[in-house]
Amino acid sequence: MRKFSPLLFLALPLIALANTAEIPPPPKEVPQQTQESFSEIIPAYRATYTLLHKSDPVGKAIRELSYLDDNKIQYHYETDISWLIFSDKRSETAIVNIDNNQVIPYSYDYQREGTGRDKYYQWQYDLVAKTAIDLKNDKKITLNFTDGLLDKLSYHLQNRIDLINNPSQKRFVYPVISTKGSVKNYEYQYDGEEELILPYGLVKTIRLKREITEKKRVTYAWFAPELNYLLVKLYQVKAGAEQFEAQLTSLTLKQ
C-alpha cells in the first residue's frame, strides 16, 4: 500500500518596467525584521487544510504559528490521515527566533504513528557553538556548516519570509538538517501564477516546484500574496502517481 508523505513548501511575480523618459525611482529597501516587528508581518495564526487523495477527502492538516513568552516562536504542523485500512498521524514542532529576516532554529520535534512503524525524533541546535544534540539517542554532533541552516519544518517559515521580502525571487535554496544529522539543500523554483478555487474561497497564487529526480517525486506548492504568502495548496506526485493534495479550508488569527 502506498504511503502518504505530508510536507509542507513556496515563489513570485516579476513586474517589468516599460521604457520611459523618466528615470524610475530606486527600489524600496525592505526594513530589517526584528522579533517585535515580525509579529506585525506574520501575526500568530492557525490554518486548517483538507487532505485529498484522488479528489477524495482522507484527512486534515493544521499549521500554526505562536509567539512564546521567552521571545521565541513556535511553528507547528500536524496531519491526520485515514484511508481504507491505512492511518497516519504526524506532528512537527520547531522552536525558532528571527534575526534580520533569518530564521534561527533552536529545537525540532517529530512524531509519527499509525500503519507501519512509529517514529520519534527530538533535536536541539546551537548554531553559535556549531553543535546539534540528538536527544532521542543522547548524541551530540558537530556542525561543519551553520550559515542559514534550518530544520525540516522551519525552512517553510524561512521560505515565507523570503517570499514576503522579495516577491520577484525565482529560486530558493535552503540547507536543511535531517533527523539523522546530515545536511542537504532543498531547492524550489518559481513555476507560475494561478487563480484557485479552494474550500477557503477564491485566491490568486504563485506556484513553486520542487523536484527530486532520484526519487521521481515532484511537489508543487501554492502561496497567496493577498494572505501574505501563506501556503494555500500543496500537491505531490511520485513516479507519476498522485500522493496527496492539501487545500486551505480556514485561517484564524490568534490573540
Single pTM value for the model: 0.84
Tens place of pLDDT for every residue, the chain, 255 residues?
Answer: 444 444 333 333 332 333 333 444 444 444 444 555 788 889 999 999 999 998 899 999 999 999 998 889 999 999 999 988 899 999 999 999 999 899 999 999 999 999 989 999 999 999 999 999 999 999 999 999 899 999 999 999 999 999 999 999 999 999 999 999 999 999 999 999 999 999 999 999 999 999 988 888 999 999 999 999 999 999 999 887 778 899 999 999 987
Q: What is the pLDDT of residue 17?
A: 31
Q: What is the pLDDT of residue 163?
A: 97
Q: What is the pLDDT of residue 84?
A: 84
Q: What is the pLDDT of residue 108?
A: 98
Q: What is the pLDDT of residue 54?
A: 87
Cα–Cα distances (Å) from 27 to 24, 138, 166, 176, 234, in that order, read 9, 49, 11, 31, 32
| Domain spans in the chain, listed from the N-terminal domain onward | 35-253
Q: What is the pLDDT of residue 30?
A: 41
- Burial letters 149-158, b for 16+ CB under 10 A, else e: bbbbbbbbbb
Q: What is the pLDDT of residue 239?
A: 81
Q: What is the pLDDT of residue 38?
A: 86
Residues 25, 28, 32, CA angle at the centre, nearest 5°? 165
Long-range contacts at 222-227 (CB < 8 A, ≥ 24 apart): 222/194, 222/196, 223/10, 223/11, 223/160, 223/163, 225/13, 225/167, 227/203, 227/251
Q: What is the pLDDT of residue 2?
A: 42
Q: May I ask the CATH class of domain 35-253?
A: mainly beta
Grid coordinates representing 120 are 520519534
Q: For strands 217-224 and 102-114, give the pairing.
A: unpaired
